[in-house]
Amino acid sequence: MTSLGGDGPVRTSTAGGSQVPPSPYFVSPAEFQRVRMHAGGTAGICWITLDRPERLNAFDWRMLVELRAALWEATYDDGIRVVVITGAGRGFSAGRDINDLRWQRGLPGNSYRSFVRTNHSTFDDIETIEKPVIAAVNGPCAGGGVELAVSCDFRIAAQEATFSLPEINIGVIPASGACSRMSRLIGVERLKEMVMTGRQYTAAQAGAMGLVSEVVPGAELVATVEALAADLMTGAPRAIGLAKHVINMCEGVDPHTGRDIERLGQSWLAQSDDSWEGLSAFLDKRSPDFRG
């Protein structure tokens, strides 16, 4: 397996710090046809690029399988600290490939639900991987592409990006995370507007409603994303990962349970080597050397 976390490609193994992910479930990166994994300009950043530009990066079954495989590669590679997802060519993603949608409509209800669960599992992996994930939205982002983006921790958009949930126009709803994730980002009323009208929104409008955190000129997108990634890599890796996990869990529980979750997470981190290193570095007035 190739690691993208260091100065160049290296082999990883269970003996070398990074672990080999369970391979029977996923296609090898060497076999990827719809997705590319490549190192960023700074060590520790892994870019995952959706690579079907001729279809505006619409995802079919193969792309979903490869995307999930790429996420697992990133999970098990300790050299990767931040994951960035973007699209090849002029767009981020048009969502589900219409040809796949036609095929899905012929499935019995139980088979259809099982198939769609694979979408959910892929986006759930993005949300739950204990590393920050940034969506670099470089152009049109529609349907499932929006749902992919909102499963990421951060969204930065190029000025030319657009956002829409047009499923209502073909008689269905966005059902891979829009209805369940987006209300906490943009509010229920705005979400209903997006879903029930199918309108297209500019990047500026998406920023105003809270769907993206920053809008920048297209030429500055990569640099802006990598600057955020660099900031995210200054903290202790395990603390960053657990912070993400605890915050996600606390969103779905009452405040009392949330504080229980915070205490459990903190009790583990407080005993870690990185916690002692951070405290020592603070007292010594030096930069910490976190090892993860």
pLDDT one-digit tens code per residue, 75-101: 999 999 999 999 999 999 999 888 777
Task: State the chain's maximal CA–CA distance in angstroms.
Answer: 66
DSSP 76-142: H-TT--EEEEEESTT-SB--B-HHHHHHHTTS-HHHHHHHHHHHHHHHHHHHHSSS-EEEEE-S-EE
For the chain, where are the alpha helices, taking DSSP H only?
Answer: 61-76, 98-104, 109-128, 144-150, 178-181, 183-186, 188-197, 203-209, 221-232, 237-250, 255-269, 273-284
Q: Which of 178, 171, 160 is nearest to 95 (CA)?
A: 178
C-alpha 257/C-alpha 271 separation (Å) is: 22
pLDDT of residue 1: 41
Residue 178 has pLDDT above 60, yes or no: yes
Task: Reply yes or no on whether the pLDDT at 12 is more than 50.
Answer: no
Residue 228's contacts (CB-CB under 8 Å, 6 or more residues apart) are 134, 154, 156
Q: Is the pLDDT of residue 56 over 90?
A: yes
Residue 174 has pLDDT above 80, yes or no: yes
Q: What are the tokens at 24?
A: 């029977």
State the pLDDT at residue 102: 74
According to the model, what pLDDT value does residue 5 have?
A: 40
Q: Name which of 264, 214, 215, 227 is nearest 242 in CA terms.
A: 264
Least confident segment among 18-27, 102-111, 186-195: 18-27
Give the helix/strand (H/E) hosting 202.
Answer: strand 200-202
Q: What average pLDDT score do residues 240-262 get?
A: 92
Read off the pLDDT of residues 95-143 as tens digits, 9 standing for 90 and up. 988 877 777 777 788 888 887 887 789 999 999 999 999 999 999 999 9
| Enclosing H/E stretch for 181 | helix 178-181
Kindly tell me if the per-residue pLDDT of 265 is higher than 70: yes
Known catalytic residue at 167: yes
pLDDT confidence bin for 4, thresholds 50/70/90: very low
| Mean pLDDT to the nearest integer, 40-68 | 93
**CB of 147 closer than 8 Å to CB of 164:** no
Report pTM. 0.88
Q: According to the model, what pLDDT value does residue 215 have?
A: 98
In 3-state terms, what secondary structure has residue 203?
helix
Tally Cβ neighbours within 10 Å of residue 234: 11
Q: Above 90 in pLDDT, residue 198? A: yes
Give the tokens for residue 101.
């949608």
| CA gap 107, 110 in Å, rounded | 8
Catalytic-role residue among 127, 147, 214, 251 = 147
Residue 278: count other Cβ atoms within 10 Å of its Cβ.
Answer: 18
- pLDDT interval class at 24 (50, 70, 90): very low
* pLDDT at residue 15, as a whole number: 43
pLDDT band at 11 (very low <50, low <70, confident <90, very high): very low
Higher pLDDT, 42 or 20: 42
If one compares 229 and 290, the residue with the highest pLDDT of the two is 229
Task: Provide mean pLDDT across the span 174-195.
Answer: 94
Q: Of the listed 66, 73, 167, 226, which one is catalytic?
A: 167
Find residue 162's DSSP bridge partners. 202
**Helix, strand or coil, per DSSP, at residue 39:** strand
Query: Is there a contact between 120 and 70 (Cβ–Cβ < 8 Å)?
Result: no
Task: Say whether 147 is catalytic.
Answer: yes
Q: Is the pLDDT of residue 57 over 50?
A: yes
> Tell me: the pLDDT tens digits for 215-236?
999 999 999 999 999 999 999 9
What is the sign of the dihedral through the CA atoms of 172, 174, 175 and 181? negative
Local confidence band at 262 (pLDDT 50, 70, 90 cut-offs):
very high
244, 93 Cβ separation under 8 angstroms: no
Calculate the average pLDDT of the chain: 88
Q: What is the CB neighbour count within 10 angstroms for residue 91?
A: 25
Query: Cα(91)–Cα(56) distance, rounded to whole angstroms?
Result: 6
Residues sharing a CB contact under 8 Å with residue 169, sequence separation 6 or more, in sequence order: 198
Q: Say what percent of the chain tops pLDDT 90.
A: 65
**Contact call for residues 157 and 151 (beta carbons, < 8 A):** no
